[in-house]
Amino acid sequence: MKQLNELYKSGDWKAEKHVPVIDCAEKVKAGDLIPVKVSVGKEQAHPNTTEHHIRWISVYFLADGENFPCQVGQFEFTAHGESTQGPNSGPVYTHHEVTCYIKISKPGTLFASSLCNIHGLWQSAKEIAIS
Protein backbone atom coordinates (compact mmCIF):
# COMPACT_ATOMS: atom_id res chain seq x y z
CA MET A 1 0.00 0.00 0.00
CA LYS A 2 1.33 3.45 -0.93
CA GLN A 3 1.79 6.12 1.72
CA LEU A 4 0.53 9.68 1.19
CA ASN A 5 4.07 11.13 1.31
CA GLU A 6 5.01 8.91 -1.66
CA LEU A 7 2.45 10.70 -3.83
CA TYR A 8 4.00 14.16 -3.50
CA LYS A 9 6.25 15.33 -6.31
CA SER A 10 8.70 18.21 -6.30
CA GLY A 11 11.09 19.85 -8.69
CA ASP A 12 12.63 23.10 -9.82
CA TRP A 13 9.79 25.60 -10.17
CA LYS A 14 11.69 27.34 -12.98
CA ALA A 15 11.34 24.24 -15.16
CA GLU A 16 8.23 22.52 -13.74
CA LYS A 17 4.90 24.37 -13.88
CA HIS A 18 3.27 22.35 -11.06
CA VAL A 19 5.64 23.19 -8.19
CA PRO A 20 4.23 25.70 -5.69
CA VAL A 21 6.55 28.70 -5.35
CA ILE A 22 6.93 30.36 -1.94
CA ASP A 23 7.82 34.06 -2.14
CA CYS A 24 8.72 35.66 1.20
CA ALA A 25 11.68 37.12 3.04
CA GLU A 26 14.38 34.63 4.01
CA LYS A 27 15.16 36.50 7.24
CA VAL A 28 12.56 38.30 9.37
CA LYS A 29 12.29 40.00 12.73
CA ALA A 30 10.47 37.92 15.36
CA GLY A 31 6.87 39.05 15.71
CA ASP A 32 6.79 41.16 12.55
CA LEU A 33 3.90 40.61 10.16
CA ILE A 34 5.31 39.19 6.93
CA PRO A 35 3.60 38.53 3.60
CA VAL A 36 3.87 35.04 2.15
CA LYS A 37 2.84 34.58 -1.47
CA VAL A 38 2.41 31.09 -2.91
CA SER A 39 1.74 30.56 -6.59
CA VAL A 40 1.81 27.75 -9.12
CA GLY A 41 3.26 28.31 -12.58
CA LYS A 42 5.51 31.28 -11.83
CA GLU A 43 7.99 30.76 -14.69
CA GLN A 44 5.92 28.40 -16.83
CA ALA A 45 2.21 29.14 -16.79
CA HIS A 46 -0.03 26.36 -15.54
CA PRO A 47 -3.31 25.94 -17.46
CA ASN A 48 -6.47 27.15 -15.80
CA THR A 49 -9.24 25.39 -17.67
CA THR A 50 -12.19 23.26 -16.69
CA GLU A 51 -10.22 20.19 -17.77
CA HIS A 52 -6.80 21.08 -16.26
CA HIS A 53 -6.34 23.34 -13.23
CA ILE A 54 -4.92 23.78 -9.74
CA ARG A 55 -7.58 22.81 -7.20
CA TRP A 56 -5.93 24.02 -3.96
CA ILE A 57 -2.80 25.25 -2.18
CA SER A 58 -1.97 24.47 1.46
CA VAL A 59 0.65 26.28 3.55
CA TYR A 60 2.29 25.00 6.76
CA PHE A 61 5.00 26.30 9.10
CA LEU A 62 7.30 24.00 11.07
CA ALA A 63 9.26 25.87 13.75
CA ASP A 64 12.80 24.60 14.38
CA GLY A 65 12.81 22.04 17.18
CA GLU A 66 9.09 21.24 16.89
CA ASN A 67 7.68 17.86 15.86
CA PHE A 68 4.54 18.98 14.07
CA PRO A 69 3.78 21.79 11.63
CA CYS A 70 1.11 24.46 12.12
CA GLN A 71 -1.31 24.89 9.26
CA VAL A 72 -1.20 28.47 8.00
CA GLY A 73 -4.02 28.07 5.52
CA GLN A 74 -5.87 25.93 3.00
CA PHE A 75 -6.87 27.86 -0.11
CA GLU A 76 -9.31 26.38 -2.63
CA PHE A 77 -9.76 27.51 -6.22
CA THR A 78 -13.15 26.35 -7.40
CA ALA A 79 -14.05 28.38 -10.50
CA HIS A 80 -12.37 27.18 -13.69
CA GLY A 81 -14.73 28.30 -16.41
CA GLU A 82 -17.39 25.70 -15.73
CA SER A 83 -20.82 26.56 -17.03
CA THR A 84 -24.14 25.00 -18.00
CA GLN A 85 -23.17 26.04 -21.54
CA GLY A 86 -20.15 23.71 -21.33
CA PRO A 87 -16.49 23.66 -20.31
CA ASN A 88 -14.48 26.90 -20.41
CA SER A 89 -17.50 29.04 -21.18
CA GLY A 90 -18.26 30.21 -17.65
CA PRO A 91 -18.07 33.81 -16.46
CA VAL A 92 -15.31 33.40 -13.84
CA TYR A 93 -11.91 31.78 -13.39
CA THR A 94 -9.93 31.78 -10.14
CA HIS A 95 -6.15 32.17 -10.34
CA HIS A 96 -3.84 29.77 -8.46
CA GLU A 97 -2.01 32.33 -6.30
CA VAL A 98 -2.56 33.36 -2.71
CA THR A 99 -1.00 35.86 -0.30
CA CYS A 100 -1.30 35.40 3.43
CA TYR A 101 0.39 37.18 6.32
CA ILE A 102 2.10 35.48 9.26
CA LYS A 103 4.05 36.35 12.40
CA ILE A 104 6.67 33.90 13.61
CA SER A 105 8.60 33.82 16.86
CA LYS A 106 11.07 31.07 15.92
CA PRO A 107 12.98 30.25 12.76
CA GLY A 108 11.62 27.37 10.75
CA THR A 109 10.42 26.09 7.41
CA LEU A 110 7.41 27.04 5.34
CA PHE A 111 5.91 24.19 3.33
CA ALA A 112 3.52 24.58 0.42
CA SER A 113 1.60 21.86 -1.34
CA SER A 114 -0.77 22.01 -4.26
CA LEU A 115 -3.06 19.70 -6.20
CA CYS A 116 -3.32 19.63 -9.99
CA ASN A 117 -6.49 17.80 -11.00
CA ILE A 118 -4.52 15.84 -13.64
CA HIS A 119 -0.92 15.66 -12.39
CA GLY A 120 -1.45 15.15 -8.68
CA LEU A 121 0.23 16.48 -5.55
CA TRP A 122 3.24 18.82 -5.55
CA GLN A 123 5.31 20.34 -2.76
CA SER A 124 8.06 22.81 -1.95
CA ALA A 125 9.71 24.30 1.14
CA LYS A 126 11.54 27.47 2.19
CA GLU A 127 13.52 28.14 5.36
CA ILE A 128 12.98 31.40 7.26
CA ALA A 129 15.54 32.72 9.73
CA ILE A 130 14.97 35.18 12.60
CA SER A 131 17.15 38.28 12.75
Q: Is the pLDDT of residue 11 over 90?
A: no
Pairing of strands 54-63, 120-130: unpaired
Catalytic annotation on 116?
yes
Catalytic annotation on 6?
no
Catalytic annotation on 16?
yes
- Which is the catalytic residue, given 24, 42, 100, 119? 119
**What gap in Å lies between CA 108 and CA 94, rounded to an integer?**
30
The predicted model gives 58-77 an average pLDDT of: 98
**What gap in Å lies between CA 37 and CA 72, rounded to an integer?**
12
Q: Is the pLDDT of residue 22 over 90?
A: yes
Structural domain spans, the chain: 4-130
For all residues of the chain together, what is the average pLDDT?
95
Q: Is the pLDDT of residue 13 over 90?
A: no
- Which is the catalytic residue, given 14, 37, 52, 95? 52
Quick check: 41 and 96 in contact, CB under 8 A? yes
User: 4 pLDDT band (50/70/90 cuts)?
Assistant: confident
CATH class of 4-130: mainly beta
Catalytic annotation on 18?
yes
User: 80 pLDDT band (50/70/90 cuts)?
Assistant: very high
Instruction: Indicate the residue type of 35.
Output: P
pLDDT digits (tens, 9 = 90+) for 48-65: 999 999 999 999 999 999
Catalytic annotation on 80?
no
pTM of this prediction?
A: 0.92
Q: Is the pLDDT of residue 16 over 90?
A: no
User: What share of the chain has pLDDT > 70, as a percent?
Assistant: 100
